[in-house]
Chains A and B, each alone.
Chain A
Amino acid sequence: MAGDAPRVGLFVTCLVDLFRPSVGFAAVKLLEASGCTVQVPRAQTCCGQPAYNSGDRADARAIALQVIAAFEGYDYVVAPSGSCAAMLKEHYPALLRDDPTLAVKADAFAERVYELVSFLTDVRGLEAVTAPFEGRVTYHDACSGLRELGIKAQPRALLATMAGLELAEHEDAEVCCGFGGTFCVKYPEISNTMVTNKVEAVERSGADTLLAGDLGCLMNMAGKLQRRGAAVRVRHVAEVLAGMAEGPAIGEAPAIAKAPEG
């Protein structure tokens, strides 16, 4: 077991890196507050899901090896995304199973991989957060985090400790939002039907804020809510837990994020 200040390598994820760095900074803040030191290996880009789920096993394998190498030596590898964490934790070992040496490496790597919120609760023992938040929140259970990593109770447990935050479940919170990576652009009508069902349920819940642990899902749902002119604001759960929910929500104007002071 790691010592008092475990070294965490942050797996940023391509969507957070490219579209919403504030999620990454929220993750860093939460991890540091829980007593970890955080580094961000430069040689990371993407977990390889697009290649893997398109059947390009060879490239997925190469990316896996690249990621494992980049994160050598950390006590933990933490990602603010259930699907990326599941890719690293569950699917890298499957990809590298055919080679005994690589299989051992992949298993050892996978053991250190965690999704952010469940890492804070299950490994760091976080039971409450003191960040302020006013509003009625509903939480979407992104599929990979839920079914591959068992993330369900943990974010809700933390959100429930926030004074001023009222948690309201929406119907079918566990049903897919229709993002599915390239699925949403390959089968747009089907994806649209799924995301419409999801946002209608969110709207019916009366929540003013929608949270989840995966940015792909969040961008999908935010985009649909905004196309419908709904007033619901969409954020990554890390932003709320870290008390960094003041700035523009997903898809809201304006602005370029500034790196936080110090």
Chain B
Amino acid sequence: MQSSASDFKNNARRAVDDPQLRKALDHVKTGFIDKRAKAVAKLPEFEALRDQSRDIKDHTLAHLDLYLEHYEQKVLEAGGQVHWCATAEDARATILEICRQAGATSVTKGKTMIGEEIGINAHLEANGITPVETDLGEYIIQLRGETPSHIIAPAVHVTKDLVEADFRAHHKHLPADRPLSEPRQLLGEARQVLRQKFLEAEVGITGANFLVAETGSSIIVTNEGNGDLTQILPKVHIVIASLEKIVPSLEDATTILRVLARSATGQEFSTYTTLSTGPKRPEDLDGPEEYHVVLLDNGRSRMLGTEFQDVLRCIRCGACMNHCPVYHAIGGHAYGWVYPGPIGAVLTPGLIGVEEAGHLPNASTFCGRCEAVCPVKIPLPKMMRHWREREFERHLSPLAVRGGLKIWTFFVRRPALYHFAAGLKMRALAALGRRKGRFKRLPFASGWTAYRDFPAPQGRTFQQLWAKQLRAKRGRP
């Protein structure tokens, strides 16, 4: 997928001024935050399960090559095929080839963020194959020609009336005067329209929430059932997954599954959690004849063994962005690439480079809410700080900021000079601001004063007053 991450400041500015987006994002609070809190309150073991999930992921990452090898062996035993793709280009080429061999004209897709990452839809379309998104949120944004703005609720930025308008514009074969203002009606129409696509497709592409090394299985977690229809109806089932989706055993999968749905939507378990292992067996009455797993690296192996390794624990629940006040202010598209929110701020520079994505880890107050809700305890603010360190080393931060910081640090490291200069400056500032007690405008601080007043200092510094008080005390008998 093409990145606009370097244009973050403009993206963000447009987003905060978009009333439609603001209205849509209001739903994130009650939709996700409250529900997660309720689900967590209902499970006394939740905190312990977070620790165990983190430990499973850490263990797996430390042995990633070995688990991947075992996984491949089991997939082959079950009659499936594994395609190891180092780059997005390799993955696109592989998937296209499989589709061509299957004689595919249309392909149904379950939700897959890896699919977004490699830009598979555009690639298939450019080669005469029609991809049909079947997850309702993905379908909505496909009609709108947009990319997902949230990793589990791709159309969270779209209000109901916009969906109605899109359906009327695209489903021209349906009666123009049909009622479509209620979510129930919109859902019914999507079901009807997509049913035919499910049945026609020669190839079905899904992502995978987990790959299980013990059995060579892929696991998808959905509520709609679209992922299941995608993977059981067509002749060919392709799973695309990045390397770090692997977990060792079935028990490890269910341990982490217990924190996944609760963290994502506040459900205890999703409606459909499905394990697929190889193609249909000879005695099966339905199911795909071919099962392909496309394993994607695309920069993950490079992050192993670095200070960023922990971000590979991510299980794609979306809790971090659901709780992030920056995400609430700007929505997902402003982040400019596949992964929004705090996970995007850490992962994106790792995958597409900090030169392109440098704003993302900087646009954070380090409030820490993300880390507090991450089911696998990824220290997200710490990783964002590491990216800032990398930028600092490479002189990537803007000159004004670097310059200002250098001046401040110069004084901070020389207390005597600092106290002297500070005393003078604060006295002058206080004198200027004495009448109102605050400034409506201040040179060098326009970012502040554009939106709020700047409180004037009291005048003397604490150190000056304290020293004066000590002198006065000593002067007493």
Contacts and interface: CB of A to CB of B under 8 A. Distances in A.
Contacts of A255: 434, 437, 458-459
Interface string B382-406: 0001011111110001000100010
B451 A195 contact: yes
A20 B458 CA distance: 6
Interface string B167-188: 0000000000000000000000
Contacts of B366: 53, 143-144, 180
Contacts of A12: 462-463
A192 B454 contact: no
A52 B386 CA distance: 10
Given A44-B415, A54-B392, A190-B363, A20 B437 contact: no
A224 B15 CA distance: 21
B390 A143 contact: no
Interface residues of A, number: 77
Contacts of A62: 413
A187 B359 CA distance: 10
B419 A42 contact: yes
Given A21-B460, A54-B397, A185-B447, A176 B325 contact: yes
Contacts of A253: 434-438
Interface in A59-98: 59, 62-63, 66, 70
User: In terms of DSSP, what is the predominant structure of the interface of chain B?
Assistant: helix
B367 A180 contact: yes
A42 B463 contact: yes
Given A18-B422, A53-B388, A253-B434, A186 B452 contact: no
Band of interface residues on B: 35 or more
Nearest to B389: A55
B76 interface: no
A251 B445 contact: no
B140 interface: no
Interface in B349-399: 362-369, 371-372, 385, 387-393, 397
A19 B452 contact: no
Given A12-B463, A56-B405, A43 B415 contact: yes
A226 B450 CA distance: 13
Contacts of A63: 409, 412-413
A227 B451 contact: yes
Interface stretch (A115-123, A128-136, A202-210, A215-223): A215-223
B59 interface: no
B401 A227 contact: no
A223 B454 contact: yes
Contacts of B389: 55-57
A254 B364 CA distance: 34
A24 B466 contact: yes
Contacts of B328: 197
Contacts of B437: 248, 251-255
Contact of A223 (B411, B455, B462): B455
Contacts of B229: none
Interface string A170-199: 000011101111111111111111110100
A138 interface: no
A126 interface: no
Nearest to B386: A55
B461 A51 contact: no
B418 interface: yes
B314 interface: no
A253 to B, nearest CB: 4
A257 B459 contact: yes
Interface string A3-27: 0000000001010111111101100
Nearest to B365: A180
A17 B462 contact: yes
A175 B367 CA distance: 8
A260 B463 CA distance: 14
A51 B390 contact: no
B425 to A, nearest CB: 8
Contact of B458 (A40, A192, A226, A256): A256
A262 B445 CA distance: 38
A2 B60 CA distance: 46
Contacts of A193: 16, 329-330
A1 interface: no
Given A51-B409, A59-B409, A184-B448, A42 B438 contact: no
A162 interface: no
A175 B436 contact: no
B453 interface: yes
A219 B330 CA distance: 24
Contacts of B426: 18-19
A253 B308 CA distance: 48
Contacts of A184: 447-448
B9 interface: yes
Given A51-B409, A185-B445, A253-B435, A18 B461 contact: yes
A6 to B, nearest CB: 19
Contacts of A257: 458-460, 465
Contact of A53 (B385, B413, B436): B385
Nearest to A219: B455
Contact of A17 (B409, B413, B451, B463): B463
B424 to A, nearest CB: 11
B469 interface: yes
Contacts of B326: 190, 194
A155 interface: no
Nearest to A184: B448
A50 interface: yes
Contacts of B17: 189
Nearest to B469: A259
Contacts of B467: 42
Given A181-B365, A224-B451, A253-B434, 17 more contacts: A14-B412, A18-B461, A20-B458, A24-B466, A25-B465, A51-B408, A55-B390, A70-B415, A179-B365, A189-B17, A190-B12, A219-B454, A222-B455, A250-B455, A256-B458, A257-B458, A258-B465
Interface of A: 12, 14, 16-22, 24-25, 40, 42-46, 48, 50-57, 59, 62-63, 66, 70, 143-144, 147-148, 174-176, 178-195, 197, 219-220, 222-224, 226-227, 248, 250-260, 262
10 contacts: A50-B405, A50-B408, A51-B408, A56-B392, A56-B405, A63-B413, A178-B365, A223-B455, A227-B452, A259-B466
